[in-house]
Structure 1
């Protein structure tokens, strides 16, 4: 009896922590919060093709983590490191080039840590990289609309973010264990 009450409490907390669950969803999507961006704030940034390779490489790492593929995430992180290192800050239209340079160095450091053999460490580095990438792209610009997504359950319920090219939630911080946990918090769109 105590076990079933404890299980019920845990299940209720899980559902409450990450949104409502409809009765027709599969058990693996427990805790899903809608990816609908209609309630998200929108931030307009300059249009820039110079960040395309950085964004493409970042999204490739994200997709590998969504698929729980540690080896591909490590391999794709090398492309991301190369794209970040080759980014020409002088080509940026942003006004704060000194801050952009600081963010480029910080993003490169986190991207280099993604080559770790441990997927949990990769996910932790990826979440930190995501925070820096969001700030970098707000200064440098983007070539597409991106969605900042948030999972409140990551890192013992302190939460974590990532960027996606789609409103659909595919959580790289948990992968298949909580694939659809999250919501769109911000839309980063071109002017």
Structure 2
């Protein structure tokens, strides 16, 4: 009986890995995410509005390259912590990003701040990963508008969020998945260089 259970587990893992590596690029509908309460953070219409706003309009930024580099460095630290399933590390990195963003009147920074506050306000890694997805969209917008000379790559996991897929930004072509961490570390592909 144990041999059958192990065989089923191995086959299921192989199928998931194959599906991850071969899945076609899809569109991502953020509004389809479930809303949850995590450690005092309630996702209600405010979060849905935030996600829809991110989806429909690209906020503009007036930041210089040095500030964008600083924000991106903090973002990459959040990403690395999530890759390592380190909720405390993600919380600390997001708190650092939050301190840089707090008090700015920049439209795009306000969007980044919303998600940095949520990530730094919890150690529930699922909640952090939900906000990391939207944080990523705004980091992409920031680095698209302001060129810093950094080599940055948009990477995509088609399996994230129950097969809806999600992106992240990396400073390496090597894929390390922040949405699954150790569970599916290499699930994903490089989509393009920013």
TM-score, with normalisation over the residues of structure 1? 0.69
1:38 — aligned with what?
Answer: none
**Equivalent pair of 1:80/1:111 in contact (CA under 8 Å):** yes
* Count of residue pairs the alignment pairs up: 151
The answer for unaligned runs of 5 or more in structure 2 is: 24-63
Is 2:116 the counterpart of 1:111?
Answer: yes
1:179 — aligned with what?
Answer: 185
**Equivalent pair of 2:20/2:159 in contact (CA under 8 Å):** yes
Computed over aligned residues only, the root mean square deviation of the Cα atoms, in angstroms, reads 2.7
* SS of residue paired to 1:56: helix
1:166 — aligned with what?
Answer: 172
TM-score, with normalisation over the residues of structure 2? 0.68
1:68 — aligned with what?
Answer: 85
**Equivalent pair of 2:156/2:165 in contact (CA under 8 Å):** yes
Q: 1:14 and 1:142, CA in 2 relative to 1: closer, same or farther beyond 3 A? A: same
CA-CA distance at 1:11 after TM superposition:
4.7
* SS of residue paired to 2:67: coil
* Relative contact order higher in (CA < 8 Å, ≥ 6 apart): 1
State how far apart, in whole Å, the 2-side matches of 1:137 and 1:164 are: 12
The answer for unaligned runs of 5 or more in structure 1 is: 21-30, 32-46, 90-100
Q: Residues 1-191 of structure 1 correspond to what in structure 2 (within 5 A)?
A: 10-11=12-13, 13-19=15-21, 48-85=65-102, 101-115=106-120, 116-188=122-194
CA-CA distance at 1:107 after TM superposition:
1.0
Moved segments of 4+, more than 3 Å = 1-13
**Equivalent pair of 1:51/1:143 in contact (CA under 8 Å):** no
* SS of residue paired to 1:16: helix
